[in-house]
Chains A and B, each alone.
Chain A
Amino acid sequence: MRIVLILLLTSSMLSYSQDCTFIMSGKVSDLHDGKPLSEALLLVAGTNISAETDSEGKFILKGLCDRSYSIQVAHPSCSTKIFSVKVKGNSTRNFKLEHHLEEFNEITVTGKAFDEKSKTMNNATISRAEIERLSSGNLGDALSKISGVSSLSTGNAILKPLINGLHSSRVVVVNNGVRMQDQEWGAEHAPNIDINVADNITLIKGAGALQYGGDAIGGVIIAESAKAPVKDTIFGKTILSGLSNGQGGTITTRLTKSTKEGLSFAIQGTLKRFGDFETPDYILSNTGLFERNASVQIALNKFNYTLEGYYSLFKNEIGILRASHLGGAQDQVNAISSDVPLIINPFTYDINAPKQDVTHHLARIKASKLFDGFGKLSLQYDFQINKRLEFDIRRGDDRDKASLDLELLTHSLALDLESNLSDKLSLKSGLLGRFQDNTANPNTGVRRLIPDYKRYDIAAYGILDYEINNEFTLEFGGRFDYVHLDAFKFYRTSLWEARNYDELFQDIVVEELENQILTNPKLNYNNASATIGLSYTLNNSYDLLINYSLASRAPNPSELFSEGLHHSASRIEIGDLRFKSEVGHKFALTFKKEKSNFNFNISPFVNYINDFNLIEPTEVQQTIRGNFQVWEYRQTDALLVGFDFDASYDFTNNLGFTHQFSMVKGYDRSTDKPLINMPPVETKNELVYKNEKLKNVRLALQSQYVFRQNEFPNNNFEVFIPQLGSSEIVDVSTPPNAYHLLNFNSSFDLNMSQTSILTIGVGINNILDTDYRSYLNRLRYYADDLGRNFLVSLKLNY
C-alpha cells in the first residue's frame, strides 16, 4: 500500500499550481450488468479529494485542476481499479468495476483492466444462483443452460460439454486458474470438476482465451471459486438437495474465514449419492453414482502482492447402464431392436460393472506481485493426477479388476505478465512449460487402449488490447505451442502389417514379440494460434463484437494410438500415427443489447477446420467373438456454421421472459456429408416471476424443445445372423424423434437470524413424464432418458 501511495504522490508532484476549481461528476457501475454501485469510494491520487457514490452510484469530485489524474475507485465487492483521467474543465466520467475472474481480489493496475476473458468474443456466465440451483447436477448440466451449448452424454451422469457442435479435446476447462488435464480426449470422460466449487462459470465460444491454450477450437470453460473479502469475517453456506429420480441427493458445504490483513482460508466439500435412475417406464439398471469432493484454499492478499494455495480432490464412481455392455454386432441388433433395455433389475444403490471410477487431484501455488511501472507478474505451478479406472463385465478372477487403468500426471509452470504499455494499450503475455506422464497399468489383463507416453509442452503468448476510444476496442493475440510426445506403444503384429506400418515406421520398432510389436513413436507438433477482434459500443447500449480466431490442436492420444475393441461403444477403434495438427478458423459476430427491459444477443459463426479429426465406420470385422464394426479416425476438412440467439423481456420488475434458440450445421467438406453428433436445433423458453419483497420468491417455468436431427451420416451396416439365416441392418445412425420437456423450479428465503438465510427450493423436471431419447446420448440405442424428477433443496447461508 505504502509503495503505491508514494508512487501516486510522486506523480502528483509533477503538477504545477493552476486554477483548480473543476468538478467531475459521473457514475460507478458494475461492468457486467450495468447496475449502479453505491458506497464506492473514489480517491484522487496526490490530493485529498475524495468522494463516495450515492445509492444511484453517482459521485461528484470537486476542486480538480486542468491536468491528468489517477483516480482509485474501490468497492467492497469489486476489485479496486485505478483509472487515468485527463481533466479539462468540468467533466463527466463513468467508471465500471467488475468482479474479477481468476483469483481473490485481483489487483488491477488501471481502468482498462485486462479482461481475463475475451473482449471481442461472445462470453456467457453462469451465476452463483444458477449454480446453486444445479448443486446436485454436474458441469454439463450447468453449461447446457447457455444457448449453443449441449452435452454429449453417456447416460445421464457422464456429460461432455458440446460447444457449437465441438467437444472433448476441443474444449478447454479451467478450474481455478488451472487447465484441467483429465484425459478429456475421451467422449465418455466427463470433466472431473465439482460444480459446487465454482462461484461462477464463464464460457467463451471460441479460442479467444489464449492464455489458457491455443487449441480450444470449440471453446473455453472457466470455473472459479468465490473470492474472500478483505475484512475480518467468517461465513459459510450449506446446500442440501434431494431428488426423487435416483432416490438420492447432494450435500455441499463451504466455509470461509478471512481477515482484514488479507489472509483468507476456505474449505469446501461435496457428497453426492444416487441409486439407479429411471425413465417414465422402467429403471435404468446400474446408473447410480457416488461422488466425493473436497477443496481447500489459502490466500494472502495484499495490495501489491498475493500468494495463493489451492488443492482439490474429485472422486467419482459412476455406473454405466448394464444393458449397454454388449458383445458383437449380433448383440447390438437385439439391443437396438428392443424397445426397452434388455436388462432391467430392481432399484439399487449398488454400482457394479460396467462402471467408471475416477480420481482427480489438483494443486496449485500462485504468487503475484505488482511492479511499479512494469505490471503484474504472476508465477504459477500446478500439479494434477488423474486416475481413471474403467470396469467391464469380466469373468472369474478378473471380475473385480479394471479393464482400463490409466494414471496421468501433469506438472505445469506458468509465468504471466499483465502490463500497461500506455493509457490505451495493455499487454498480457506469458510463458508456459508442462510435463505429462501417462502410465497404463499392464496388470489389467487387457491390452492398453492408451499407451504409456510422456508429453512436453512449451508455449508463449501475448495478447494486446487497444482501447481506441470509449466506443472501439481492438484485441490482438498470438500464441505458439511446441508439443513433443514420446510414447511406447504395443501394436498387434497383424494390424501393424495390415496397415503397412512395417514399411512406413520401421525405424520406431523397439522389440518384436510373439504377436505384438513394441514401438517408440516420437512426435513433434508446432502450433500457432491467434485471435484478432474488434468491439464497438453504440449508444452505450448496443455492442457489436467481431472476432477471428485461429486455433491449432495437436492430435490426442486416442486419435493417434487407438487400436482395438472399445467395449463401451461395442466397436473396434483405430487411430493413425500420421495425423497432423487440426487447425480451426472461426469467424464470429455478436450483436447484442444489454441493460434494458428488452435485451438480445445474436451470434452467428462460421468455423472452418482443416485436418479435422473424425471417427467413422469403415468395415465390419470378424473375430471369434462375432462381428464388430470398425471405426477409423480420419482427417478431413470440416465446416461448422450456425448461430445462437438469446432474448429477454421484462414485462414488469417481477415478471420476465427469456428465449433461446440455437442451430449448428456441420459438414465434411471432402465428402459433403453431414458430421456425426451435431446438436439438433433447440429452443428454450422460460417465464420467471420473482419478488424480492415477498421472501425473495422465485418461480420459473421452462420449456425445452429439441428438434429431430435431420442431417446425419448414414453409418448403418449389415450383419449376418445365423439364427435368422439372413443379414440384418444395425441401425446406429437414425436420430430419435423431437421432444419437448417442461421443467419448473421455485425458491423462497426465510430469515433465520440476523446473519443467516435459509433458501428453500422445490422443483420438478420433466413435469409431463415424457418418454424421449436424445441424439447426443451415446446410450440412446438402449434406453430412454430420465422421467419425471422432483427436487427439494435447502440452502443455508450463515
Chain B
Amino acid sequence: MKKIKLSSLFILSLIVLSACSSDDTPDPVLEEEVITTMTITLSPNGGGTDITLKSQDLDGDGPNAPVLTVSGDLAAGVTYNGSIELLNETENPAEDITEEVEELSDEHQFFYTITGGLDVTTAYTNFDGNSNPLGTEFTLTTGAASSGTLTFTLRHEPKKPNDGSLADADGETDIDATFNIDIN
C-alpha cells in the first residue's frame, strides 16, 4: 500500500517538475564586439580617385570565408593617406568599431606587412597616449611599378612599444587580411 502511495507521489512530482517548463523562445544574441568588415581607404596626396581595400566576413567564424575586394591599382610614385574603418555589420545600423579601437589606442596596433616584391613603404600617422603607433591612420608611398601582397593585422594587447614586427609584438590577432596589390 505504502509502495503504491510512494510511487504515485513520485509520478506526481515528476508531472509537477515537468509542468514548470514554459515554451518561450529565447532572444538572439547581439554580437557586440565582432568585426565583420574592414575598409581601408587610400586617398592620393594631391587629389585623384580613392582606392579602397575591403575585407568583409558577415558570418564571422561561420564557414564562409571573408570576401576581399580591391577597387583598383595603385599609381607609381604616389603618397596615399590611408585610413581604416572597422564595422560590425551584424548590427543594424552597423556599429563603428574604429571608435572603440581608437579610444583604447594603447591596447591596439595595426601592422602592415609587405611581401612579394611590392614596392611600397608605410608610416604611422596616428599614435596612442604614450606616442606609440596605433595605425588606424597611416601613409603609404608607392615606388616603381610592381605587384605583391599587403597584409593588415590588428593586434589586441600587443607589447608596446615593439620593434614594429608582429613577432615581437605578440598580443591577440583581431583582424588579419591580405590583399593582392598591383602598382602601375
Of listed B10, B63, B175, residue having the most chain A CB within 10 A = B63
Asked if A6 is at the interface of the complex by the 8 Å CB criterion, the answer is: no
A102 within 8 Å of B by Cβ? no
Our pick among B38, B59, B175 for the contact of A493 (Cβ within 8 Å) is B59
CA distance A514 to B88 in the complex (A): 14
Residue of B nearest to A723 (CB): B113
The complex places the Cα of A381 from the Cα of B63 at a distance, in Å, of 45
Contact with A along B65-105 (1 / 0, CB 8 A): 11000000000000000000000001010000000110110
> Would you call B17 and A433 a contact (CB within 8 A)?
yes
Q: A442 and B27 in contact (CB under 8 A), knowing A330-B176, A624-B175?
A: yes
Q: Are A723 and B55 in contact (CB under 8 A)?
A: no
Q: Are B104 and A343 in contact (CB under 8 A)?
A: no
Q: B165, A723: Cβ atoms under 8 Å?
A: yes
Query: B51: which A residues are within 8 A, CB to CB?
Result: none
Q: Please name all residues of chain A whose beta carbon is closer than 8 Å to the beta carbon of B35 when the two chains form the complex.
A: 624-625
Give the docked Cα–Cα distance between A168 and B57 (Å): 34
**Pair A446/B104 contact, Cβ less than 8 Å:** no
Contacts of A381 in B (CB 8 A): 13
Q: Which one of B1-9, B121-129, B139-147 is at the interface? A: B1-9
Contact B113–A442 (Cβ < 8 Å): no
Q: Is the CB of A623 within 8 A of B66?
A: yes
Inter-chain contacts of A442 with B (CB < 8 A): 26-30
In contact, B29 and A723 (Cβ under 8 angstroms): no
Q: Assess whether A435 is in contact with B28, with CB atoms less than 8 Å apart.
A: no
A564 at the interface (CB under 8 A from B): yes
Interface residues on A, range: 35 or more
Give Cα distance in the complex from A454 to B156, angstroms.
Answer: 38
> Min CB distance, B131 to chain A, in Å?
22
Is B173 a contact of A624 with CB atoms below 8 Å?
Answer: no
Cβ contacts under 8 Å, B7 to chain A = 415, 431
CB distance from B34 to the nearest CB of A (A): 9
Which residues of chain A from 615 to 662 have any CB-CB distance to chain B below 8 Å in the complex?
A: 621-628
Q: Is the CB of A413 within 8 A of B62?
A: no
**Residue A614, interface by CB 8 Å:** no
Quick one: given A325-B172, A516-B28, A725-B115, are A495 and B63 in contact (CB under 8 Å)? Answer: yes
Q: Which residues of A contact B27 (CB under 8 A)?
A: 442
Pair B151/A495 contact, Cβ less than 8 Å: no
Contact A458 B173 (CB under 8 A): no
* Contact in complex: A327, B3 (CB < 8 Å): no
Q: Select the stretch in A87-95, A392-400, A549-557, A664-672 that faces chain B.
A: A392-400
Query: Does A565 belong to the interface (CB within 8 Å)?
Result: yes
- Name the A residues within 8 Å of B177 (CB-CB): 624
Residue of B nearest to A379 (CB): B6
With A395-B104, A433-B10, A623-B66 as given contacts, are A510 and B25 in contact (CB-CB < 8 Å)? yes
Contact A395 B33, CB 8 Å, known A327-B174, A624-B38, A625-B174: yes
| Pairwise interchain contact B173-A328, C-beta atoms closer than 8 A | yes
Distance A3 CA – B149 CA, assembled complex (angstroms): 91
* Residue B163 lies at the interface, judged by CB distance under 8 Å to chain A: no
> B4: shortest Cβ distance to chain A, in Å?
12
CB distance from A391 to the nearest CB of B (A): 13
Q: Which residues of A contact B59 (CB under 8 A)?
A: 492-495, 515
User: Closest B-chain residue to A572, C-beta based?
Assistant: B61
Q: How many whole Å from A524's CB to the nearest CB in chain B? A: 15
- Contact present for A623 and B60 (CB under 8 Å): yes
> Do A621 and B63 touch across chains, with their CB atoms under 8 A apart?
yes
* Assembly CA distance A398 to B88 (angstroms): 15
Beta-carbon contact of A377 and B6 below 8 Å: yes
For A515, what are the chain B residues with a Cβ–Cβ distance below 8 Å?
58-59, 90
Are B115 and A722 closer than 8 Å at their CB atoms? yes
Residue of A nearest to B58 (CB): A515
Decide yes or no: A488 and B26 within 8 Å by CB, A433-B13, A623-B57, A626-B173 being known contacts.
yes
B91: nearest residue on chain A (CB-CB)?
A: A514
Number of interface residues, chain B, beta carbon within 8 A: 62
Partner of A396, one of B6, B66, B90, B104: B104
Whose C-beta in chain B lies nearest to the C-beta of A451? B26
Q: Determine whether the beta carbon of B29 is less than 8 Å from that of A490.
A: yes
User: Which of chain B's residues have a CB closer than 8 A to the CB of A494?
Assistant: 59, 62-64
Assess whether A393 is in contact with B36, with CB atoms less than 8 Å apart. Answer: no
- CA distance in complex: A492, B64 (Å): 10
- Do A411 and B17 have beta carbons less than 8 Å apart? yes
The interface residues of chain A lying within 8 Å CB-to-CB of B172 are: 325-327, 331, 393
- Please judge, given known A-B contacts A624-B177, A626-B176, whether A395 and B92 are in contact too, CB under 8 Å: no
Determine if A445 is an interface residue (Cβ-Cβ < 8 Å): yes
Q: Chain A: which residue is nearest B89 at the CB level?
A: A515
Q: Is B50 an interface residue (CB 8 A)?
A: no
A446 — which chain B residues lie within 8 A by C-beta?
29, 31
In chain A between 434 and 452, which residues have their CB closer than 8 angstroms to a CB of chain B? 435, 437, 440, 442, 444-448, 451-452
Q: Are B176 and A396 in contact (CB under 8 A)?
A: no
Q: Is the CB of B173 within 8 A of A331?
A: yes
Residue A511 at the B interface, CB < 8 A? yes
A628 close to B61 (CB less than 8 A)? yes
Q: A564 — nearest CB in chain B belongs to which residue? A: B61
Is residue A798 contacting chain B, with contact meaning CB distance below 8 A?
no
Are B175 and A625 within 8 A (Cβ)?
A: yes
Tell whether B157 is near chain A: CB-to-CB under 8 Å.
yes
A134 within 8 A of B: no
Chain A, residue nearest B86 (CB): A624
Bits for A591-625, please: 1 = Cβ < 8 Å to B, else 0: 00000000000000000000000000000011111
Answer whether residue A518 sits at the interface, using C-beta atoms and an 8 A cutoff: yes
With A437-B21, A442-B28 in contact, is A722–B61 under 8 Å at CB?
Answer: no
From A454, A490, A564, A624, give the contact of B21 (CB < 8 A).
Answer: A454
- Complex interface: chain A residues within 8 A of B61 (CB): 564-565, 572, 621, 623, 625, 628
Bound CA span A431–B115, Å: 68
Q: Is A421 an interface residue (CB 8 A)?
A: no
Select B116's contact among A431, A621, A725, beta carbons within 8 Å: A725
Q: Quick check: B151 and A723 within 8 Å, CB to CB?
A: yes
The listed residue with most B CB atoms (<10 A of its CB), out of A327, A394, A516, A621, is A327
Contact (A398, B65) CB under 8 Å given A442-B28, A515-B59, A626-B176: no
> Looking across the interface, which residue of chain B has its beta carbon closest to that of A491?
B62
Contact of A395 among B10, B37, B100, B116 (CB under 8 A): B100
- Please report the C-alpha to C-alpha distance between residue A498 and residue B174 in the assembled complex, in whole angstroms: 25
By the criterion CB–CB under 8 Å, are B167 and A334 in contact? Answer: yes
| Interface pair A394/B33, CB less than 8 Å apart | yes
Per-position contact with B for A402-422: 1 when CB-CB < 8 Å, else 0? 000000000101010000000
Chain B: minimal CB distance from A616 (Å): 17
A456 within 8 A of B: yes
User: Is there an interface contact between A723 and B167, defined as CB atoms closer than 8 Å?
Assistant: yes
Chain B residues, Cβ within 8 Å of A768: none
How many angstroms from the CA of A539 to the CA of B165 in the assembled complex?
A: 74
CA A396 to CA B108, docked complex, whole Å? 12
CA distance A413 to B14 in the complex (A): 8
The reply to whether A413 and B6 form a contact with Cβ atoms under 8 Å apart is no
Partner of A456, one of B18, B28, B38: B18
Please pick, from B17, B101, B165, the residue contacting A413 in the complex, using a CB distance under 8 A: B17
Judge whether A371 is part of the interface by a CB distance below 8 angstroms.
Answer: yes
Is B178 located at the chain interface by the 8 A CB criterion?
A: yes
State how many angstroms separate the Cβ of A444 from the closest Cβ of chain B.
Answer: 7
A7 contacts the other chain (Cβ, under 8 Å)?
A: no
Could you say which residues of chain A place their CB within 8 Å of the CB of B21?
A: 435, 437, 454
B-side contacts of A513, CB under 8 Å: 28
Whether A435 contacts B20 by the Cβ 8 Å rule is yes
CA distance A66 to B53 in the complex (A): 102
Q: A381-B13, A518-B28, A625-B173 are in contact. List 10 more A-B contacts (CB 8 A).
A: A393-B172, A395-B104, A413-B17, A447-B31, A494-B64, A565-B61, A621-B65, A623-B65, A624-B55, A723-B115
17 A-B pairs, CB-CB below 8 angstroms?
A: A326-B172, A330-B176, A334-B166, A343-B170, A393-B172, A415-B7, A415-B10, A431-B7, A442-B26, A442-B29, A447-B31, A495-B59, A565-B60, A622-B66, A624-B35, A625-B61, A625-B176
List the 10 shortest-distance A-B pairs measured between CB atoms, nearest first. A327-B173, A445-B32, A626-B176, A624-B57, A722-B151, A494-B59, A433-B14, A622-B65, A492-B62, A494-B62
